[in-house]
Structure 1
Amino acid sequence: MKESEYPLVDDGTWCEIKTHVDPVRTRGRPALFLDRDGVVVEEVTYLHRPEEVALIDGAARLIASANAAGLPVVLVTNQSGVGRGYYGWQDFRDTQARIETDLAAAGARFDAVIACPFTPGGDGPYVHPDHLDRKPNPGMLLRAGRCMGLNLAASWIVGDRGLDVVAGRRGGLAGGLHVSTGFGADSEERDAALAEAGESYTVLTADSIAGAGAVIDALSSALPSPAQD
């Protein structure tokens, strides 16, 4: 498949809004933003082989609960491996297909997948000192908000890195959940996440995405009423 046939926008970010999504239905709804590696799937350095995909326990169940509640679920992932030339978009696509097949087997699905290849390192076309889409910047969240009409002010992000939680605050989200899987086992990552807490931004912690029930409750309470929907 040629690069022009991938869902790439602007200067190269992958922005895939799933075909089942009706922007009229997502307008005004809060979203569950999820980092991928170390949150939905086990951390593998520069994951790009489908056979290395392993869902984290409880991930599919948590995502399915968000789906059932009518909450848009958006994957936002830095993919510097593409930017550094370690693998290509077809490898990313194949790996994503395996993740989504495994989720579907448990009745779970993403509503959008956004991936940023830009990185300060390397020497290819994706080299950028501080691209808006690369977390901790909020560009991927803002893209989803524009494309799907989301209520970002009531949305949450779940991540294993402090930078995921930072991206949520910079994007104007209501809160971030830091999990201890993946890089989250490092106390410095948790400290960095907790440091983002403030009067207008809540930061919670959990052992894994399986413990994100409080986030689903918060998002569900912010759903528009049927009269508004």
Structure 2
Amino acid sequence: MGGLNPPPVLVATRSAHKLREIRGLLADLPVRLLGPADLGLPERKEEEDLEPFDTFARNALSKAKYFHRRSGLPVLADDSGLCVDALGGGPGVRTRRFAPPELVARWGRDEANNRWLLEQLESVAEERRRAHYRCAVALTDDLRHEVVEGIVRGRIARRPDGSGGFGYDPLFVPEGHDRTYAELPAEVKTATSHRAKAVRRARGWIEREVLRIRGGER
């Protein structure tokens, strides 16, 4: 079924980490998962404004539709973030842009976000450091779209540990573990992460709506 020329699906992310993770999760499907760079799509300033909504689902669908217009291909896009109980569910959809710009300029985005999160939770007791990662994956082609979600629950550690992963992984301890995602083997995150759960739920759409292209249907 895979053939010599599997149909392409554009993964709407500029993050090499995300693209690699999603490719690994869908490696057994007979599709070509391409990033924008693989298609020669230059990054445009307007891409900074693709996530204006207050839910991960609407932001993911906004990205999916934008990159479908630019590429003409079926698109998989995600929006994900960290929701901390003690912050009223924040940073939520502001996860990537959580830290003040001056801290990002000083330390880089990931370290600035982690430092800022620890500062916000400095006096928060252990039982109130509960959090979850949430991921919405949107899929769209010419006529159809679908949004699925995945969640992994855990807590925020008091200091960063580990050198694996990215984003808030050095601070996030998933339920059932006593180490952060950045400390745990990569296969643990692959099996349990919010993105892994959402992407697995997207498999049915890919199989139904993308692989049927081989039969000339849309």
Which one has more relative contact order, counting CA pairs under 8 Å at least 6 apart? 1
TM-score (norm 2): 0.27
- Structure with the bigger percentage of helix: 2
Structure exhibiting the larger radius of gyration computed from Cα positions: 2
